[in-house]
Amino acid sequence: MEAKRILSFLTELMANNNREWFLEHKVEYDDVRASFEQGVALAIARIATFDPSVAHLTVKDATYRFYRDTRFSKDKSPYKNHLGAYIAAHGKKALHGGYYIHLEPGHCLLSCGNNWLPTNVLTACRNEIMANTDEWLKCVESAKFLSYFGAGEDAGWDDKQGFGMERLKTCPSGFPRDYEHVRYLRMKDYCCWHCVDDSFFEGDGWLDGMERIFKAGKPMMDFMNSVIDDYE
């Protein structure tokens, strides 16, 4: 994957996000898109070595349209400023969590887990945490998990690392407020992410780095998927 070239194109696009410029550079876009998709194919193959559930996926299963849906957005820029791939065994639209690769100038990252869950599934996940607290803590308070994703409660998608993009201000209704680990019940998603340098995806070594990061987050994701799968 020619990450430097991909990010260079995206940087230029961010300064010229309009249809005229894009059409003039469509051949270049097609080239960087093909390079990115080659990287996604390699990522799927590598992830399948430690998570066979994704082995059946194709690049098309994991990638997205580059055109933005601007119907309900104040930002009418027609194109995205990043390339992303969500490698999830049950598909991009499923609740079942997966692995996400994101290339964006100045904000490349790797993420895994679930970025949204409906209330009934969230309630089931919270109950599972309370019923199996020790197992949950082994997943999210291990040295490897904390080194990549941290333990901060106020992290957001723009931060270098984090676990949980949104959370309630107080304990969810129906759960004990004095539960020792209530901060995990306040979470509205179970997504963890780790930002990497723009140079991370250059060369061949990025697959090893990706594997280490995803393996650190996988136990947490597996814990949640075991609950979520009952609802799909």
Residue 110 tokens read as: 């790797």
Q: What is the pLDDT of residue 71?
A: 87
Q: Is the pLDDT of residue 155 over 90?
A: no
Do 189 and 157 meet the contact criterion of CB atoms below 8 Å apart?
A: no
* Confidence class for position 154, pLDDT limits 50, 70, 90: confident
* Confidence class for position 156, pLDDT limits 50, 70, 90: confident
Q: Is the pLDDT of residue 232 over 90?
A: no
Q: How far is the C-alpha of 205 from the C-alpha of 73, rounded, in Å?
A: 38
Q: What is the pLDDT of residue 10?
A: 98
Q: Is the pLDDT of residue 21 over 80?
A: yes
Q: Is the pLDDT of residue 93 over 90?
A: yes
Residue 137 backbone phi and psi in degrees, to 5? -65, -35
Q: Where are the beta strands (DSSP E) in 8-121?
A: 83-87, 98-103, 108-114
pTM: 0.96
pLDDT top residue among 151 and 84: 84
Q: Where are the beta strands (DSSP E) in the chain?
A: 83-87, 98-103, 108-114, 161-163, 190-196
Residue pLDDT, tens place only, 34-75: 999 999 999 999 999 999 999 999 999 999 999 998 888 888
Sheet strands side by side (includes 108-114)? 83-87, 98-103, 108-114, 190-196, 161-163
Gap between the terminal Cα atoms of the chain: 34
* Mean pLDDT of the region 29-33: 98
Residue whose C-alpha is closest to residue 117's, from 154, 155, 164: 164
Alpha-carbon distances of 67 from 77, 187, 206, rounded to whole Å: 9, 31, 27
Do 108 and 201 meet the contact criterion of CB atoms below 8 Å apart?
A: yes
Quote the crossing angle between the two packed helices 206-228 and 119-131, to the nearest 10°. 100
